[in-house]
Structure 1
């Protein structure tokens, strides 16, 4: 007795939809949980000088993704949306994912640029490469053959179905991001080896290079895993790791920033304490000298 192909396809689609929902929720929990854990550090290191452009960009990265994913989650699990509304929310999700990655790449590029001493040539190089890759990613997401992307209401909520050819095109946006992340990681590792060879150990820079490399690798692996879903999974599961990959990028970027501020604050405190000890030692020596120079009573 053969199995009905229609029933098999429906079961496979239902499984893909459920798996995509669970993976979306896992990315959401990861993002929100880490946001709560690091909120005290955000208040301590960033809220005192909100006018700074770099800190404003960092806070945009933190809260844009948090608020945007709340809307996406509503659309994924809502079964009462009109089909037109579902398609609009699908477009919103694509814009959210792309713009979030642009913000992350901008922050990380500024970090790399700072590590290299704000070289104008590197700034121009990263800017040109970034604009080219953003252009390619935007074209792939918004100006391709989207007639085969069926964003519609299912029994589980609002979901999109990607045919294989369309999924390859959508994957190219994430592949552009993967290339840029890999470029930043290569620049970071090169600077680390060069600095160690020329200057030896530089504590703050060593922290940046060690932790930065680890965080970059985590972001790159999460992105690579999401790229694989476009090639090796079913229509409803293609891009199913997008939320988790995006959440990893946002979270790791936050962690890099907090580590920088924490270590810079630690060095400032240690320098202040060392200076205080030196001042106290100098004052004690002066007092002893004055005492020794006083004439003894007759």
Structure 2
């Protein structure tokens, strides 16, 4: 792993070129998920109006849907111009004597926004598995227990990582915004609880799909759609988590900013 964790390591010309290049790429890469989100809106907005803008369906399900759909989109709308202009927000400003009230507010929001979005996605995934297993109460208790452990451990880990951040004065003359330093080399373990929980849900979804497919009579059409979409959805979420884990483990540490900015 890279040892680019302190300002002294960033004073060389090669290191400065590396870090500034990574942060500029980081800002540009935020455009990709923004385009994908709006493309998804174009494809599914009609169905959203039909099924979620009415009074039909459970309140909790509708709330989770709207928050999960529009909160990340709002973050991306803010992040794309912000990261391409200021490159990165240094979360160490939360405790820095130089921090302004605005920086503290944005810093706190940035630090815990990702965890809150994980909480929402985890809730949706748990509800889907619960429905797939015909509302098994015992399974629900197990899933909720693991869910609580996942969110708790993830919150502690992200707090430990961000609390160590320090601002990097060496790069402030090169681009606007702040570059974090003193990033722990073990920061990649943040993704392990998420990977464990989501992998379990993927295994359960695959196992239920195989079980239903091998039964003597096939289930209802809506259940077929639920099983198929769940495997694809859980698989996509798990691959996303693996990609983040590998990026934090293999890539230079400044790339960390891509996932928390």
Category of TM-score, reference length = shorter chain: 0.7 to 0.9
Q: Which residue of 1 aligns with 2:245?
A: 227
Shift of 1:91: 3.3
Q: 1:233 to 1:54 in 2, by over 3 A?
A: same
Q: Please give the alpha-carbon distance, in whole angstroms, between the structure 2 residues aligned to 1:145 and 1:56.
A: 30
- Relative to total residues, which structure has the larger helix share, 1 or 2? 1
1:198 is paired with a residue of what secondary structure? coil
2:218 is paired with a residue of what secondary structure? coil
Q: Which residue of 1 aligns with 2:199?
A: 182
Shift of 1:18: 1.3
RMSD of aligned alpha carbons:
2.9
Q: Please give the alpha-carbon distance, in whole angstroms, between the structure 2 residues aligned to 1:163 and 1:190.
A: 43
Is contact 1:61–1:104 with CA below 8 Å preserved after alignment? yes
Shift of 1:125: 0.3
1:82-161 equivalences in 2 (<5 Å): 84=100, 85-86=102-103, 88-144=105-161, 146-150=163-167, 154=172, 155-161=174-180
Consecutive unaligned residues of structure 1, counting only runs of 5 or more, are 244-298
Q: Which moved more, 1:203-212 or 1:183-192?
A: 203-212
Superposed CA offset, 1:63-117 (max 9, x none): 1212233333454234499854446434322211111111011011101101111
Computing the radius of gyration from Cα coordinates, the structure with the larger value is: 1
Q: 1:200 to 1:168 in 2, by over 3 A?
A: farther
2:258 is paired with a residue of what secondary structure? coil
Q: Within the alignment, does 1:58 sit opposite 2:65 as a pair?
A: yes
How does the TM-score come out when normalised to structure 1?
0.70
Shift of 1:189: 1.0
Is contact 1:77–1:156 with CA below 8 Å preserved after alignment? no
From 18, 30, 38, the equivalent of 1:32 is 38
1:205-216 equivalences in 2 (<5 Å): 205-216=223-234
How does the TM-score come out when normalised to structure 2?
0.79
Q: Please give the alpha-carbon distance, in whole angstroms, between the structure 1 residues aligned to 2:116 and 2:260.
A: 13
**How many residues were matched structurally?**
238
Shift of 1:198: 2.6
Q: Which residue of 2 aligns with 1:13?
A: 19
